[in-house]
Structure 1
Amino acid sequence: MSNYTFSTINDKEFELLVLDLLNAKLNLNLQAFKVGPDQGVDLRYSSSENNNQIVVQAKHYIGSGYPKLKKAFLKAELKKVKDLNPDRYIIATSLPLSIKQKDELKELLAPYILSSNDVIGQNDLNTYLSEFPEIEKKQFKLWFSSVSMLNAILNNAIEGRTKSYLEKIKSKIGLYVVTKNLDKANELLDQKKLLLITGQPGLG
């Protein structure tokens, strides 16, 4: 499973990542909006009955703890949610959340949050990224915080070049003639651990 902290992306990039992941995971058609005052709506799904049928608030709180996140909903977001009156309200945050913290936020925003599953934390987002690797591949800025992803990219490049070189060798191996110079070269490598091969350009 991925293990990103999301520290290498900004607020808007985090919001768009949440958009892609929730659309894929929940099979929705959530929409994002331009940067500016959001009236409590980062993403939403509209129906003919309710413009704010599903509202998503994406909180990218890198460097801040859960108390600050909870305070933000108590002080500002709760009133906005009541005004919006969505059928379903979803919170997505880059903070890791405990069971207790998820349940607290769910109770705080009842009845708009239907279940604690709609309080999505850092661990959940990493799980979704593992389920949808094509989304992870798009988010190249995330890779800078993932040693495993960088290694995979580098190893893939090396593997690709090696495979190409091996195919080239296979195509020409029938032309190779073993001579006593090969044995001499091997002896030198065993003894000196170094072998320098020189010659005029074009000699092969």
Structure 2
Amino acid sequence: MTFGFDALSPAEFEDLSRDLLGRELGVRFEAFGPGPDGGVDGRHAGAGAKTILQAKHYRLSDFDALARTMGKERRSIDLLAPDRYLLSTSRPMLPANKDRLAEIIGSALRTTADIFGYEDINALLRKFPEVQKSHVKLWLSGAGVLERVLHAATHNFTTLIRDDIVQKFMVYAENPSFQAGREILEKYHVLIVSGPPGVGKTTLAEMLCYLYLGEEWELIAIRSLDDAFAHIDDTRR
């Protein structure tokens, strides 16, 4: 499966990059909150050596835009003086592209292999498939999973159309309630979502439904507990 990363925000792509490159290198990268990052999206310090990771979500931009941005980052990189600098980008890379970026970045970049482009990130996702599931928007946006979700969701929620579902994926910002809800469902097999109007109860419920549809569970829409009990079938997911 190949991912396009279009559904991810820049912050979500940073999270994905830290997870994947951390797995690849066998280290944990520190993460930082919103705000000027000074050229640091991830940092690992150990044994007196400092590794800096930057992530650039430029999937829909041309290469020159990425090159210009990295030119502006050069001063920050020089000031940081890392022992190793890593660049992750959602932009597809040609060998000539990596060579040009290496010239722009300077000596902090050990090798062009430390530039991870679109193709490299997808290769790491195939190498570490468990990372896919921990980034639910990424996993749900995968072609095979998305088609299963679209088919099942539009069959069960007749008011939804394909564009509605895709749009929800694009704008959904995962928060702690999603993981908490998932853990409750896995442990107790039931979840009650409550709260005042406008806090996102319906969106949370829908995204959890899409998650399980992607795992090939059958969705049955009910209007009462009697409906639920009537549809219990221990032989089916």
So what's the TM-score if we normalise by structure 1?
A: 0.71
Secondary structure class of the residue paired with 1:89: strand
Give the AA of the match of 1:34.
Answer: G
**Structure-2 change in CA distance of 1:48 and 1:141 (3 Å):** same
- C-alpha displacement at 1:100, in angstroms? 0.8
Q: 1:55 is matched with which residue?
A: 52
Q: What CA deviation, in whole Å up to 9, does each residue of 1:43-65 have, x standing for no partner?
A: 11123635xx1111100113211
Query: Is 2:122 the counterpart of 1:123?
Result: no
Per the TM alignment, residue 121 of structure 1 is displaced from its structure 2 partner at its CA by 0.5
Contact kept? 2:140, 2:214, Cα under 8 Å: no
CA distance in 1, matches of 2:215, 2:117: 31
Partners of 1:154 and 1:144 in 2: CA distance: 7
Contact preservation (8 Å) 1:92, 1:119: yes
* Paired amino acid for 2:216: N
Out of 217, 225, 237, the position equivalent to 1:157 is 217
1:83 aligns with 2:82: no
Relative to the length of structure 2, the TM-score reads: 0.62
Cα distance change of structure 1 residues 101 and 163 upon mapping to structure 2, 3 Å threshold? farther
For the 8 Å contact 2:98–2:112, the answer to whether it is kept is: yes
1:42 partner letter: D
| Aligned residue identity for 1:15 | E
Aligned residues between the structures:
159
Q: Tell me the distance in 1 between the aligned counterparts of 2:113 and 2:233.
A: 45
Per the alignment, do residues 162 and 134 of structure 1 end up closer, same or farther by CA in structure 2, a change over 3 Å counting? farther
- The answer on whether the counterparts of 1:58 and 1:93 sit within 8 Å (CA) in structure 2 is yes
Identity %: 33
For 1:73 and 1:107, the matched residues in 2 are separated by: 10
Mapped to 2, the partners of 1:154 and 1:42 lie a distance apart of: 31
The amino acid that maps onto 2:32 is: F
C-alpha distance 163-60 of structure 1, shift in aligned 2 (>3 A): same
User: Counterpart of 1:113?
Assistant: 109
Q: Is the 8 A contact 1:8 1:144 kept in 2?
A: no
- Name the SS for the 1:90 alignment partner: strand
List gaps (5 residues or longer) in structure 1: 166-204
Is the 1:89–1:113 contact (alpha carbons within 8 Å) kept by the matching residues of 2? yes
What is the distance in 2 between the residues matched to 1:162 and 1:96?
Answer: 47
